[in-house]
């Protein structure tokens, strides 16, 4: 989606300002947002892709106006509401007003270490032959989808070279919308900086993205 999250190449966000001796969290509530989000993910209602879609569906005013963990709070509450596990009335009341649905999927404290250690691999069995090979020239698609995509704006309709095949992975563009995993070959595509940024590119710059097969055409 051409949403506020697609930041590559945008201007005027200012200096990086790395914080010296930055703490891991800046407030107690941030810890809880992280923990509640990961615990809620464990209910299995949504994929990682749907989770990203929830956060990038915030308006630009919200997305740029909120801190990182505020965005996560907005994301997890939207997901819980969409899947029937939370209502606005409950948030207003500050207490449960109806039973949870997937209480059988609740991740216990004892089970959480294993959930964190196993993660959620996106690679799937290779049931098709890849269309592209290493060294091949490809052109990324010119698209502006209303839904979720992981093809950033700055790398659309650009010619690059396949640098590596990364196996077959869950396709976020469908997975984010509850339309199934529809796994595809994933490639690392490398672009010359000037092909993306024109004559103003810093000399010696190259960029890579990881692109699913349907993002690419032969060039």
Partner 1 sequence: MSFREGAKISDGHHHDHDNHLSDMDAKVRALQTILVEKGLVDPAAVDVVVETYEHKVGPRNGAKVVAKAWVDPEFRAWLEKDASAAINSFGFEGRQGEHMHAVFNSPEQHNMVVCTLCSCYPWPVLGLPPVWYKSPPYRSRVVYEPRKVLGEFGVELPESTKIKVWDSTAELRYLVIPMRPAGSDGLSESELADLVTRDSMIGTGLALEPEQE
Binders of partner 1 among residues 184 to 213 (CB under 8 A) are 186, 188, 190, 193, 196-197, 200-212
Does residue 156 contact residue 8 with C-beta atoms inside 8 Å?
no
DSSP state of 122: -
Cα–Cα dist 3/159, whole Å: 23
User: Least distance in Å: CB of 93 to partner 1?
Assistant: 8
Beta bridge partners of 169: 123, 184
Provide the minimum distance between the beta carbon of 46 and partner 1 in the complex, in angstroms, as a whole number: 13
Minimum Å distance from CB 99 to partner 1?
6
Q: Indicate whether 125 belongs to the interface with partner 1 (CB under 8 A).
A: no
Residues numbered 20 to 39 that lie near partner 1 (CB under 8 A) are 22, 24-36, 38-39
Which x/- pattern over 58-77 shows residues binding partner 1 (rule: CB under 8 A)?
------xxxxxxx--x--xx
In the window 133-172, what residues touch partner 1 (CB under 8 A)? 150-152, 154-155, 166-167, 169-170, 172
Which among 112, 94, 165, 106 is positioned nearest to 135, based on CA atoms? 165
Contact call for residues 29 and 156 (beta carbons, < 8 A): no
Q: What whole-number distance in Å separates Cα of residue 97 and Cα of residue 108? A: 22
42-61: contacts with partner 1 (CB under 8 A)? 42-43, 48, 52, 55-56
Q: Which is nearer to partner 1, 132 or 212 (CB)?
A: 212
Question: 114 in helix, strand or coil?
Answer: helix
Instruction: Please say which residue, 136 or 166, places its beta carbon nearer to partner 1.
Output: 166
**Binds partner 1 (CB under 8 A): choice among 100, 156, 181, 217:** 100
Q: Is the torsion defined by CA of 121, 122, 128, 131 positive or negative?
A: negative
Minimal distance, residue 58 CB to partner 1, in Å: 12
In a 10 Å sphere around its CB, with 0-12 CB exposed, 13-18 middle and 19+ buried, how is residue 114 labelled? exposed
Half-sphere CA count of 64, side-chain side, radius 13 A = 11
State which of residues 46, 79, 85, 213 lies at the interface with partner 1 (CB under 8 A).
85
């Amino acid at each position: 989606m051409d949403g506020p999250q697609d930041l590559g190449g945008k201007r005027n966000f200012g200096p990086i300002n790395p914080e010296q001796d930055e703490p891991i969290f800046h407030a107690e509530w941030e810890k809880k947002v992280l923990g509640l989000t990961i615990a809620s993910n464990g209910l299995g209602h949504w994929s990682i892709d749907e989770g990203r879609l929830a956060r990038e569906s915030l308006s630009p005013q919200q997305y740029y106006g909120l801190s990182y963990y505020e965005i996560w709070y907005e994301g997890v509450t939207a997901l819980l509401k969409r899947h029937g596990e939370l209502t606005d009335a409950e948030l207003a009341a500050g207490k449960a007003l109806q039973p949870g649905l997937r209480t059988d999927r609740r991740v216990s404290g004892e089970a959480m270490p294993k959930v964190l250690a196993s993660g959620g691999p996106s690679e799937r069995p290779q049931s098709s032959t890849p269309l592209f090979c290493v060294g091949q020239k490809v052109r990324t698609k010119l698209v502006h989808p209303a839904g979720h995509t992981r093809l950033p704006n700055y790398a659309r309709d650009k010619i690059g070279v396949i640098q590596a095949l990364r196996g077959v992975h869950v396709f976020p563009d469908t997975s984010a919308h509850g339309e199934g995993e529809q796994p595809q070959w994933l490639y690392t595509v490398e672009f010359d900086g000037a092909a993306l940024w024109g004559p103003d590119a810093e000399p010696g710059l190259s960029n890579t993205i990881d692109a699913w097969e349907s993002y690419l055409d032969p060039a």
